[in-house]
Amino acid sequence: MKNHVLRPLWIVLAVIILILTARHFMVPNNFGVHGEGFTYNFHRLSNVEEWRNFKVKYQGREYCRDCHDANVESSAGSKHGAIQCENCHGPAIDHPDDPETLDIDTGRELCLRCHAALPYPDNPRARIISIDGDLHNPDTDCIECHDPHNPDLEEG
C-alpha cells in the first residue's frame, strides 16, 4: 500500500487503541447489562444498591391523607384533583417528623406556573384557566381570593 493510505490507517488505529485504553481505566468493572434482557440497559451494578438506599423525597397524596384528610378530599374533588400535594407544598421527605421542613409557598408565582396566560393557544396546557398576572390583582396573593384545595369556589 502507498504511504498516503497507510498514514490515516495508522492514525485511526491509534485513536481506537487510545479510546479502548481510556475506557479500560474510566469505566467501572461492574458496568454493563445485568440480568436478563435490556430492561435497564447499561448501568453500574453497584448503582442498584445506591438507589435502594436513596431516601424518597416525594411521598404522594396518600401520605398527606393521614393528617390532612379534609384538604386531600377537597382537592381531589376539584379541578386540582390531578395535582399531587407536593407539587405545590414541596417534597414531604422529613414531614411530619419535622413540620418546619415543609415550606408552604403562598406566592403568586407558584400559581402562575400553571395559570399564566400562554401566547400559543394550540398548546394542550392552554386548556387550563389562565390569567394575565400583570392585570389580575397584581398586588394580591392568589390564596386571598382562591382556595387552592378547592379552586372551584372563590373565597372573597
Please give the full DSSP string across 82-124, using - where no structure is assigned.
Answer: TS-HHHHH---TTTTTSGGGS----SHHHHHHHHBPPS-TTSG
Residue 10's pLDDT band (boundaries 50, 70, 90)? very high
What number is the average pLDDT over the span 14-37?
86
Same domain as 135, residue 101: yes
pLDDT of 156 reads: 47
Torsion of CA 51, 52, 58, 61, to 10 degrees: 140
Which distant-in-sequence residues (6+ apart) come within 8 Å of 111 by Cβ?
A: 142, 146, 148
Is residue 114 assigned to a domain?
A: yes
Asked whether residue 155 carries a pLDDT value surpassing 60, the answer given is no
Is residue 149 assigned to a domain?
A: no
Same domain as 68, residue 127: yes
Same domain as 89, residue 41: no
Neighbour tally for 8: CB within 10 Å: 9
Range of the domain at 68: 61-144
H-run or E-run covering 61: helix 61-65
**What's the whole-number average pLDDT of the chain?**
83
Neighbour tally for 106: CB within 10 Å: 13
Same domain as 74, residue 45: no
Is residue 102 assigned to a domain?
A: yes
Of 103 and 18, the structure prediction assigns the larger pLDDT to 18
Is the model's pTM score more than 0.85?
Answer: no
Same domain as 98, residue 48: no
Q: Structural domain tally of the chain?
A: 2
Is residue 156 assigned to a domain?
A: no
